[in-house]
């Protein structure tokens, strides 16, 4: 089982390697891939050193699986080349997500859609992943009509440059800027580019990806995505309107029994999910579970997850684990 990690030196690529190691993924050979300037350098995995190779070298080595986290343009150019070599590509960029021929997968929700013919598989947007993990079991029980979500997203979702900007601002250092404005002691209601409808690309990803992953275009979704000066993970305030009424105790029970979810909901003892709690965890945390008293059959939730792990690296590795388990590679 040869596994290539494309973008191995990046923020998500580094976490992918960490997750592969922690989950003891049964690979026999690791093939780290990065830009030409990194070729020849070494990374350490399970105590052994592995040389970083070029894209062409990696394709020639014919890995069974390639985990991609190197940006959309790189994926569009090179994922089909890996596919031609017989490799199954799991891509973390937005390049393939809305392609009708490509599966968009969150294992807890729709891994059953995968077959041996799916040689390029898309990993959804981080903010979508954590939300649909929670939506799916509730949709199965009560049928969701509409979702209103506001996100509070970590600077790590932008990358190393954004983390450096935040840290530099805290130290009073003038340095490179990932954002148009200061992020420390500030909130930016702006993630990705603005579109003609006044929404950002990130907001529209949440709308379209939710429908695709849930295989239900009848679910109406509206989103406001916001960048905040935190590091541990993304948080979301989610309002869900159902077709059928619900019992709060039953909602909690459903979520507690659902894979990949940890319920932290004890307001009497000030227990609720926070980014610090989710940091370096693979689960999605849910709390502040309460009925929306302004609308019938509506529910409010607070959802938190580590965007670099469940929102990216862990979800990709879980897809790879599923492929192995079902002998689809």
Catalytic positions are 126, 234
| Tokens linked to 199 | 């929404």
Q: Which alpha helices (DSSP H) does the chain contain, by range?
A: 11-22, 55-60, 72-84, 107-110, 126-142, 160-171, 201-214, 248-257, 275-278, 314-325
What is the DSSP code (8-state) at residue 311?
A: I
Give the residues across from 282 on adjacent strands. Answer: none
Cα–Cα distances in angstroms (integers) from residue 101 to residues 82, 93, 113, 119, 121, in the given order: 17, 16, 12, 11, 10
The DSSP 8-state label assigned to residue 219 in this structure reads S
Q: Quote the distance between the C-alpha of residue 78 and its chain's center.
A: 21
Q: Rounded to whole angstroms, how far apart are CA atoms 115 and 118?
A: 6
If you write DSSP's letter for every residue of 57-106 in order, what string do you get? Answer: HHHHT--SEEEE-S-HHHHHHHHHHHHHTTPEEEE-SSSSTT-TTSEE--
Residue 248 CB neighbours (<10 A) = 11
Residue 312 backbone dihedrals phi, psi, to 5 degrees: -155, -85
And the tokens for 35? 């830009």
* Cβ neighbours of residue 111 closer than 8 Å, sequence gap 6 or more: 105, 319, 322
């Amino acid at each position: 089982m040869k596994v290539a990690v494309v973008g191995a030196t990046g923020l998500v690529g580094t976490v992918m390697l960490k997750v592969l190691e922690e989950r003891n993924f049964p690979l026999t050979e690791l093939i780290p891939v990065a830009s030409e300037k990194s070729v020849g350098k070494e990374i350490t995995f399970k105590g052994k050193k592995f040389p970083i190779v070029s894209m062409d070298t990696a394709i020639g080595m014919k890995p069974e699986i390639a985990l991609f986290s190197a940006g959309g343009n790189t994926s569009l150019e090179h994922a089909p080349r890996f596919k031609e070599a017989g490799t199954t590509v799991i891509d973390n960029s937005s390049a393939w997500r809305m392609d009708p021929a490509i599966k968009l997968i969150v294992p807890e929700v729709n891994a059953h859609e995968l077959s041996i013919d799916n040689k390029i598989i898309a990993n959804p947007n981080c903010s979508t992943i954590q939300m649909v993990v929670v939506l799916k079991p509730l949709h199965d029980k009560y049928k969701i009509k509409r979702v209103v979500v506001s996100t509070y997203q970590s600077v790590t979702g932008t990358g190393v440059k954004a983390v450096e900007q935040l840290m530099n601002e805290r130290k009073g250092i003038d340095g490179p800027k990932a954002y148009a404005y200061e992020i420390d002691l500030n909130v930016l209601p702006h993630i990705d580019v603005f579109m003609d409808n006044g929404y950002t690309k990130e907001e529209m990803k949440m709308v379209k990806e939710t429908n695709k992953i849930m295989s239900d275009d009848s679910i109406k979704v509206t989103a406001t995505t916001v960048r905040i000066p935190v590091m541990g993970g993304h948080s979301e305030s989610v309002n869900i309107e159902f077709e059928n009424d619900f019992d709060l105790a039953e909602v909690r029970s459903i979520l507690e029994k659902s894979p990949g979810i940890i319920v932290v909901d004890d307001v009497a003892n000030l227990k609720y999910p926070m980014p610090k709690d989710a940091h370096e965890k693979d689960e999605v945390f849910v709390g502040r579970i309460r009925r929306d008293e302004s609308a019938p059959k509506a529910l409010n939730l607070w959802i938190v997850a580590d965007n670099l792990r469940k929102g990216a690296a862990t979800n990709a590795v879980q897809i790879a684990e599923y492929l192995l388990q079902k002998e689809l590679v």
